Amino acid sequence: MAADTTPSPDYERLAAELAERDAAALVVVGDRHDADLAYCAGGAQPARQSAVVLTPAETLLYVPDPVAGRASETFPGDAVRTFDAERRHPAQVAADALDDAAEGEVLTPATIGHDAALYLERAGYDVASTDAVAQARERKSDAELARIELAQQIAAAGIDRARTVLAEATVDGEQLLWDDEVLTTERLRREVDAAMAGAGGDPARNTRVGVDGPPVDPALDGAGATPLRPAATITVSVAPREPAGYHGRLSRTLVVDGEGGWERRANVATENARAAALAELSDGAGAAPASVRGEIVAELGAYGFDATPESGVVVAELGGGVGLERREAPRLTDGGEISAGTALAIRPGLSAPEQGHVELTDIAVVHEDGVELLGDYSTSMAVQQ
């Protein structure tokens, strides 16, 4: 896949939702960090609070004056219009734009801000929620999938850097040294983030490192001060964004100077659980998310691990959709079927006190008649020193 095209929203699908519900408009309010607004704005990606207004006649983007220039060049809809953000809320501007629209409900994503909904209601419109944007986001276009593939390449640069740093580290008793200093989760995370930034991505504060346990949010007290140890399971999880805002997801568990045992068996189990998930998706679109999860759990259990929910050995989140959010629909606990064009993270993982934590995360793209793994990254735990 080439990553040289700008993703364009499926406005026809959104317009079909208006027609089906006899609605006056779809209004989405947010900025580029709001996944629904980012999707509807296409390549415009406004940095400040803006609004997309889609009616049966046209699709407009309302942005604050300072960001109008770039938006006008990249918005795939009909027109970009500006407003004074110091004086008006984007939902007020959206309500004004609907003055001449046909009567009917105004549809919004369920996640719309309370203040934005109030502005629309005060203008006399009945506001109703819709999942049309979420459904459109779930089925990626070729351009969107190319962006996710680029993000996954950026993620691989981060994991490769983790392998390199660990390979360069030296064992000093019960700790690892790198550049003559104790190697901690925070030092490793910074190296991983720098590598992803150097590859053209934004780490997006999503990088996690865990020692003998799940990857830990660095914002938690003391999370960055954990020394890395020889023979410990070191799990690195990344979910960078590429420039258009689409995420990758990749995780690997690595071991320096390991002795095998539990973690080796766990690694074989997670590799085979990933293979089982891909086999369940091999016929392409139509597979049930829950059946993919079921195959992962069954395969992990087949290797002798307690796969019951009560044990907590199998990690709770075994994967799900990836796109403008690092976790989005479909969840592997959802009903229904997986659509063609879905980018699906597959994350078999095992965690046990006094033993360690092992996980693999990769992204698979579901096509009409098959499945494709984005990238073929090593699943080896061993770090070659």
Q: pLDDT: is 58 or 218 the higher one?
A: 58
Locate the DSSP E strands across the chain: 25-30, 50-54, 59-64, 79-83, 106-109, 127-130, 170-172, 175-178, 181-182, 208-211, 234-238, 250-254, 319-321, 328-331, 342-346, 349-352, 356-359, 362-367, 370-373
Q: What is the pLDDT of residues 287-330, one digit of tens each?
A: 999 999 999 999 999 999 999 999 999 999 999 999 999 999 99
Compute CA 95 distance to the chain's CA centroid, rounded to the nearest angstrom. Answer: 32
Section 243-250 average pLDDT:
96
Instruction: Note whether 113 and 29 are within 8 A (CB).
Output: yes
pLDDT confidence tier of residue 100, bands split at 50, 70 and 90: low
Inform me whether the pLDDT recorded for 4 exceeds 70. no
CA 11 to chain centroid, in Å, comes to 22
- Fold classification of 11-137 is Creatine Amidinohydrolase; Chain A, domain 1 (3.40.350)
* Percent of the chain topping pLDDT 70: 96
pLDDT for the residue 381: 96
Residue-level pLDDT at 101: 59
Write down the pLDDT at residue 169: 97
What is residue 102's predicted lDDT score, i.e. its pLDDT?
59
According to the model, what pLDDT value does residue 221 have? Answer: 63
User: The dihedral of CA 289, 344, 316, 306: what is its sign?
Assistant: positive
342 to each of 43, 141, 319, how far by Cα in Å?
A: 20, 9, 12
Q: What percent of the chain has pLDDT over 90?
A: 84
CATH 3.50.50.60 is held by the domain 142-373: no
Which residues of the chain form CATH 3.40.350.10? 11-137
pLDDT higher than threshold 60 for residue 2: no
Cα angle value 175/181/186 (rounded, 5°): 80
Retrieve residue 43's tokens.
């390549």
**More confident of the two residues 44 and 170:** 170
Question: What is the strand order of the sheet 328-331 is part of?
Answer: 328-331, 319-321, 342-346, 362-367, 370-373
Mean pLDDT of 274-282: 98
Strands (E), 67-113: 79-83, 106-109
Q: Mind listing the pLDDT tens digit for each residue in 34-83?
A: 999 999 999 888 889 999 999 999 999 999 987 677 777 889 999 999 99
Residue ranges of the chain assigned to CATH 3.90.230.10? 142-373
Distance CA 139, CA 30 (A): 21
pLDDT band at 173 (very low <50, low <70, confident <90, very high): very high
Predicted pLDDT of residue 3: 43
> Pseudo-torsion of CA 352, 355, 357, 359, nearest 10°?
-100
Note if the pTM is more than 0.85: yes
pLDDT at 1 over 60: no
Mean pLDDT of 243-257: 96
Write out pLDDT tens, residues 121-162.
998 899 999 999 999 999 999 999 999 999 999 999 999 999
Q: What is the pLDDT of residue 99?
A: 76
Evaluate if residue 167 carries a pLDDT over 80.
yes
Residue 300: how many other CB atoms lie within 10 Å: 25
- The mean pLDDT value for 242-265 works out to 94
Query: Would you say residue 6 has pLDDT above 80?
Result: no
pLDDT in the model for residue 5: 66
